[in-house]
Amino acid sequence: MVKSYVDILRKTAAYRESRVLTSAIELDIFTQLGDKSLSADKLAHKTNTLRDGLEILLNALSGMGLLKKNNNLFSNTDLSLKYLNASSSESITNYLWLAAQNWNQWCDLTKVIQGKADKNKALGTENPELKKRFSLAVNERSLQVIPKLLQHIHVGSAKSLLDLGGGDGSYSFAILEKNPQLRVTIFDRPYMITAAMLRAFDKGVITKIKLVAGDFFKDDFGGPHDIVFLSNIIHIFGAAENKRLLEKITKALNAGGKLLIVDRFLEDDKTNPPEAAFFTVELFLRTDSGRCYSWSDVIHWLKAVGYSGFRCTRIDESAGMLDARMAS
Ligand SMILES: C[S@@+](CC[C@H](N)C(=O)[O-])C[C@H]1O[C@@H](n2cnc3c(N)ncnc32)[C@H](O)[C@@H]1O
């Protein structure tokens, strides 16, 4: 919250901290440091950068508390070693790298809101590096959310679950591990289904998972299933597309079946939580009609196609889950 003159100045200049951090990610500084202490000279050599520029960046990162500086040697903090070093199992480097790729789009915000710039500058979805990083980023983010989310997913006597837009399968695998009686279908675009297949083999769950490559708006969802899980999907689309998607899902659900929608839900006045309010600005910039929605927006759509028994659960500061039941 901005509460003072100083806060206003800090917020206005916050782009500097963001760019220092995302440049460090793009230059792979935290990974190159690993558990070592290195001079700016050594690190400039390893990262193929200008020594002076790098040292200035390293000092700024140290000032932010993301590196430690001792006797002109730089090293990771516990936090950066855990999250910003690509070798760590909890690394979010792909997620942050992807955020850095949005930088130029944010520069156009004023013009886009004035209607003077083209807003739909897709991030080159055919670019192979981007595809790979996107898939890894989805996994990194899900690792943080899944343990909290699982506490709120109760499958009861359900035997089948459809994970629509299930990405690389992270959520499906975690749900399956907790509920081994389930048979899970993951539906996604072909390149994500390939990623999910590789992971399913790796985890030894390929016989319990059905993988379906398709498009939400063109292909059949199969079923009927006892549960449909829809995580981080509705924000990609506008209201009209979401209504079509939710109506199509009703046909893929058994009577009395459950729909679980996970997303960055906004409170009804759409100003909070801040992470969702900012994410919706980003969606406005880079999608045709994507938005974060309030719980009431989605409940309204769901009521129109026959759902009831709504339950809204906050999972963390950004994610929430809306639980609804199809009429029996
Ligand atoms: C933001 S990711 C969410 C992945 C995962 N469910 C999660 O919560 O992390 C959106 C997923 O929807 C898939 N997707 C988007 N539009 C789609 C469409 N029209 N048909 C099929 N899959 C689609 C993407 O490929 C991607 O895997």
pTM: predicted TM-score of the whole model, two decimal places:
0.90
**Spatial separation of the C-alpha atoms in residues 327 and 19, rounded to whole Å:** 50
Which amino acid is residue 63, in one-letter code? G
Q: Whose CA is nearest to atom 27 of ligand 1?
A: 167
The CB of 22 under 6 Å from ligand 1? The reply is no
What is the whole-number distance in angstroms between the Cα of residue 185 and the centre of ligand 1? 14
The CB of 138 under 6 Å from ligand 1? The reply is yes
The CB of 290 under 6 Å from ligand 1? The reply is no
In the chain, the percentage of residues whose pLDDT exceeds 70 is 98
- What residue ranges in 49-188 does DSSP mark as E strands? 67-70, 73-76, 160-164, 183-188
| Ranges in the chain annotated CATH 1.10.10.10 | 5-91
Reported as a single tens digit per residue, the pLDDT across 21-74 is 999 999 999 999 999 999 999 999 999 999 999 999 999 999 999 999 999 999
Q: Whose CA is nearest to atom 12 of ligand 1?
A: 165
Q: State the SS3 of 8-26.
A: HHHHHCHHHHHHHHHHHHH
The CB of 172 under 6 Å from ligand 1? The reply is no
CATH class given for the domain over 5-91: mainly alpha
Site to probe by mutation for ligand 1, drawn from 98, 144, 192, 235 as the one with most ligand atoms within 8 Å of Cβ, is 192
Reported as a single tens digit per residue, the pLDDT across 263-310 is 999 999 999 999 999 999 999 998 889 999 999 999 999 999 999 999
Chosen CATH of 138-326 out of 3.30.499.10, 3.40.50.720, 3.40.1350.10, 3.40.50.150: 3.40.50.150
| Ranges in the chain annotated CATH 3.40.50.150 | 138-326
What is the whole-number distance in angstroms between the Cα of residue 232 and the centre of ligand 1? 7
Rg (CA), the chain: 22
Cβ atoms of 226 and 299 within 8 Å: the answer is no
